[in-house]
Structure 1
Amino acid sequence: MFEYAPAPESRSVVEIASSYGLFIDGSFDGGKDGNVFKTVNPATEEVLAEVTSAGPEDVDRAVAAARRASGPWSALPGSERAKYLFRIARIIQERSRELAVLESLDNGKPIKESRDVDLPLVAAHFFYYAGWADKLAYAGFGPDPRPLGVAAQVIPWNFPLLMLAWKVAPALATGNTVVLKPAETTPLSALFFADVCRQAELPAGVVNIVTGAGDTGAYLVAHPDVDKVAFTGSTDVGREIARTVAGTGKRLTLELGGKAANIVFDDAPIDQAVEGIVNGIFFNQGHVCCAGSRLLVQESVADELLSSLKRRMSTLRVGDPLDKNTDIGAINSAAQLSRIKELSEIGESEGAERWSPACSLPDRGFWFAPTIFTGVTQAHRIAREEIFGPVLSVLTFRTPDEAVAKANNTPYGLSAGIWTEKGSRILAVADQLRAGVVWANTFNKFDPASPFGGYKESGYGREGGRHGLEAYLA
């Protein structure tokens, strides 16, 4: 293994204000009730900024601003709306270094992920949906599709800017206006995006950003003047939102949790599969709803694959998210770290065998070493519950039918992976998996033209692609 000298990205490329207000009707203000909260760097526990917490009156103002902007925005020709989206995409590209550093500081993910994965995908989503804005009549949703009106969008902390792009881009392309609530632990990139909207001269009120905790999101979702609700986050909160929206006539899409199976057959290229397994569970510290958190490996190659996997895990570098050599950054919050630790301890107490490579963790911040559990059965909680951290449960199978049965034995259905050299096996197994996305000989590959979403407790509706337009059209 090479010993790499530190290669830190400078945090001076992005300017972080000491405090941030709410972005309503094209400008920032301090909110009506004066409540604030702090957002911290999970790698150091340093306070990055003080952020306004939106109360009911603030949410009312944001929704009213979006409603006022709705008529003029939807009346614009699609080609005019597209110009704004193209402009936003180009500004994001121009300011991608600032945004990548900000995302890693506020979220804890390695800079090479925010720089090389998140930011290119964010810009690509705005470019992609800009292309749809003047072609909606040909999208297959009727000859004269209409926007719904005001969209309330609540996004999570694991991919703050990318989840914003997934939601805002199709909403604007279809002529809707937006009130967005970012996660309370990662509000900074959304507030930076508000500045991007101003730089792009987006009309006031088309995008509004209200920051706060769960009660802010709950009030926004329940607001009577909202026409559409989009949520990405936990299944428990998704259930609450579904109950709130039921019977109101609001359109709803939910992208919730997952417990994806990564299935490795005996003819799979082992080294390639190991890279896919590592990417599937340790990318973004395992803070991925479609993470390959259950490894199903055919018995005859289990020992060979596990030894190769452990060898590869021993080369992973855990540490400073702003170091370009870092593979695994900080856990996003103390609360999430506590849950990861709790479920890992439960895994041990239930009899699974735990293994982590030798690695020294920083003294400050929220850290968890990459971990695998072997001897896992389907009855173990670590095989059934979403851990949302760098923890992999390993199970074995003998036949393809057993692999499919074990993969589908979950309340979730967001994603899955298949590793084999046989194309016919890929097609046969993928056809039987109850998962919204099935990757073949790869994992965690995203494209703005490809729809993403799940079955069962992983939610409903699709984001991305032509399908992503449907949720925002009447």
Structure 2
Amino acid sequence: MSETVRSYQHFVDGKWIESDSNRRFESVCPADGEVVATVPDGTKTDVDRAVAAARQAFDKDEWSSHLNAPERARLLRAIGEEIRNNVDTLAEMETLDSGKPIIETSVIDIHLAADCFEYFAELTAELGGRQVALPQNALDFTLREPIGVMAAIVPFNFPLLLAAFKVAPMLLAGNTVVLKPSEYTPSTAFELAKIAEEVGVPAGVFNVISGFGPEVGQALAEHEDVDKISFTGSTRTGKSVMTSAAKSLTKVTLELGGKGPNIVFADADLEQALDGAVLGAFMNQGEVCIAGTRILVQDSIYDEFVEAFVRRAKRLPIGHPMDWETRVGSLVHRQQFDKVMHFIESGKSQGAKLLCGGEKVSVEGCPDGAFVAPTVFADVDNSMEIAQEEIFGPVASIIRFHDEDEAVKLANESCYGLAGAVWTENIKRGLRMARKLRLGTVWINQYNRLCVEAPFGGYKQSGMGRELGTEALDDVTQVKNVYVELEDQIITLYE
């Protein structure tokens, strides 16, 4: 449905350049197979060039100096403003690249990306250090300094938004950045580079290179001149990134997989809980790390909830992602479709009760689209594969529980710990549950609500470090201690 096929080059050291390989590849809309853009097929040499540019820009000190923080904040505000000025274009590109509904990219994703840049622009005061109280006659204080060259590797499900999560605090703190977008959704990363260039971000401070994980991603993870890597993606790939980074003791922030428990108590507002559960399970076709696909329902309302949830799931409009009526678009590529169908077959073979969905959906004009009907399994045992593995598709597993203790036990029986929710009218219960759940984010009577002001990250195998909020600055800075001796005489062990 796109009338124009865009052509991009790497953005390195303020210049648009071709890959060392002279190869290119296409970004294709997963719904209709139309080519959206062509981009360079990056190499290790391209990575070396981008990292060298970032290192040179950082070492000049004009960018990274603490005195330059107000100018960095000004540039972040300008980036946020330009993102808002181009919402329609960016939303369309994001939708065509990824297959997610245009209503999500237009109303949520692009605006939240702008929010992110604007929020961090207001945090320059948080970059200061503190004075340390010492008993002796001395002065001691800390400095919060940028880490250096940072690599940001982002996935396909929220391409521009997750880039903003990383890039905004990195730049505010005075770091320089090499951004690698997913090979499936590269377009808006290059549009972000255009915006950075237009607003005056200095050459080498922000670089974007496209390519595939085994070459470009691996080269970034292993690069000895990258000071820190921030990666969002699957837990399996995150472990690989961490292993590669360990060769040079490169620091890492990892935002990885999840299997969100969405817990509904009998005293919950049922209509609100149902709305939240549908949003949690099926937003962006379930291609969301915080997706609430493990729905735990108290036994006294279990049957009523399941019946109503299935009705809602069946009503969700499935269609081309550029259709404003669509609520469930296409999965991002055929491999993801095959993976989701594997898990659906696993659920059936392990004895879960398939109540709706579970099959490919035909959409007019999209014969090869990767559309999967919203799928609901009931009577799921928490040990089943569909309850334990991150599916990354529109597949919900509904699990019965009896009381609060059992809900906590079931929710915490997972290798993941990213996010989840509790639905109850008893605020004391909600707060008790929040304490007991081993999750980085717990919503009470809400789901999928991310605020740029609040920290985001996981427990257990859902990652390490935090993005968003003032806590994000801890992951893009390092602390130096300075001790000043004020005594006239130095104590010595030697005459």
| TM-score interval, smaller chain | over 0.9
**1:360 Cα deviation after fit:** 5.0
Match among 28, 47, 53 for residue 35 of structure 2: 47
Give the TM-score normalised by structure 1.
0.95
**2:413 equivalent to 1:409:** yes
The aligned counterpart of 1:200 is 199
AA paired with 2:62? P
Q: Is the 8 A contact 1:81 1:173 kept in 2?
A: yes
CA distance in 2: counterparts of 1:115 and 1:263, whole angstroms: 30
Q: Give the 3-state SS of the residue equivalent to 1:226 in structure 2.
A: coil
Q: Is the 8 A contact 2:29 2:97 kept in 1?
A: yes
CA distance in 2: counterparts of 1:393 and 1:137, whole angstroms: 47
Q: Is the 8 A contact 2:154 2:180 kept in 1?
A: yes
Q: Is the 8 A contact 1:66 1:177 kept in 2?
A: yes
The aligned counterpart of 1:159 is 158
AA paired with 2:177? V
CA distance in 1: counterparts of 2:126 and 2:380, whole angstroms: 50
Q: Is the 8 A contact 1:269 1:421 kept in 2?
A: yes
The aligned counterpart of 1:6 is none
The aligned counterpart of 1:67 is 55
**1:366 Cα deviation after fit:** 1.0
Name the CA shift for 1:50/1:375 in 2 (closer, same or farther; >3 Å): same
**2:362 equivalent to 1:361:** yes
The aligned counterpart of 2:269 is 269
AA paired with 2:31? A
The aligned counterpart of 1:147 is 146
Match among 398, 401, 417 for residue 394 of structure 1: 398
Q: Is the 8 A contact 1:449 1:464 kept in 2?
A: yes
AA paired with 2:418? L
AA paired with 2:285? Q
Cα RMSD for the two superposed structures? 1.7
**1:340 Cα deviation after fit:** 0.2
AA paired with 1:68? Q
AA paired with 1:415? A
Q: Is the 8 A contact 2:129 2:143 kept in 1?
A: no
The aligned counterpart of 2:465 is 461
When Rg is computed on C-alpha atoms for both structures, the one with the higher figure is 2
The aligned counterpart of 1:324 is 324
The aligned counterpart of 1:257 is 257
The aligned counterpart of 2:241 is 241
CA distance in 2: counterparts of 1:359 and 1:325, whole angstroms: 19
Percent identity between the aligned chains? 43
**1:359 Cα deviation after fit:** 9.4
4+ residue segments displaced more than 6 Å: 138-142
Name the CA shift for 1:418/1:140 in 2 (closer, same or farther; >3 Å): farther
Q: Give the 3-state SS of the residue equivalent to 1:145 in structure 2.
A: strand
Q: Which runs of 5+ in 2 are unaligned?
A: 133-140, 479-495
CA distance in 2: counterparts of 1:241 and 1:438, whole angstroms: 27
Q: Give the 3-state SS of the residue equivalent to 2:230 in structure 1.
A: strand
Q: Is the 8 A contact 2:5 2:35 kept in 1?
A: no
The aligned counterpart of 1:113 is 104
Q: Which range is displaced more, 70-79 or 21-30? A: 70-79
CA distance in 2: counterparts of 1:139 and 1:464, whole angstroms: 22
AA paired with 1:20? Y
The aligned counterpart of 2:487 is none
CA distance in 2: counterparts of 1:392 and 1:139, whole angstroms: 48
**1:30 Cα deviation after fit:** 0.8
CA distance in 2: counterparts of 1:461 and 1:46, whole angstroms: 38
Name the CA shift for 1:453/1:263 in 2 (closer, same or farther; >3 Å): same
**1:54 Cα deviation after fit:** 1.0
Q: Give the 3-state SS of the residue equivalent to 1:72 in structure 2.
A: coil
AA paired with 1:42? P
Name the CA shift for 1:184/1:265 in 2 (closer, same or farther; >3 Å): same
Q: Give the 3-state SS of the residue equivalent to 2:477 in structure 1.
A: coil
The aligned counterpart of 2:13 is 25
Q: Which range is displaced more, 66-75 or 131-140? A: 131-140
Name the CA shift for 1:252/1:306 in 2 (closer, same or farther; >3 Å): same
Deviation string, structure 1 residues 105-154 (Cα, Å, up to 9, x no partner): 10111011001110111000000111113541169997421101100111
CA distance in 2: counterparts of 1:62 and 1:78, whole angstroms: 23
AA paired with 2:80? A
Give the TM-score normalised by structure 2.
0.91
AA paired with 1:53? D
Q: Is the 8 A contact 1:281 1:390 kept in 2?
A: yes
The aligned counterpart of 1:312 is 312
**1:314 Cα deviation after fit:** 2.3
AA paired with 1:361? S
Q: Is the 8 A contact 2:361 2:372 kept in 1?
A: no
Deviation string, structure 1 residues 177-203 (Cα, Å, up to 9, x no partner): 000110010001101111111111111
The aligned counterpart of 2:182 is 183
The aligned counterpart of 2:389 is 385
**2:429 equivalent to 1:425:** yes
Q: Give the 3-state SS of the residue equivalent to 1:327 in structure 2.
A: coil
Match among 83, 96, 102 for residue 92 of structure 1: 83
CA distance in 2: counterparts of 1:318 and 1:328, whole angstroms: 5
The aligned counterpart of 1:4 is none
Match among 101, 117, 127 for residue 92 of structure 2: 101
Deviation string, structure 1 residues 267-287 (Cα, Å, up to 9, x no partner): 111111010001101001100
CA distance in 2: counterparts of 1:267 and 1:457, whole angstroms: 32
The aligned counterpart of 1:282 is 282
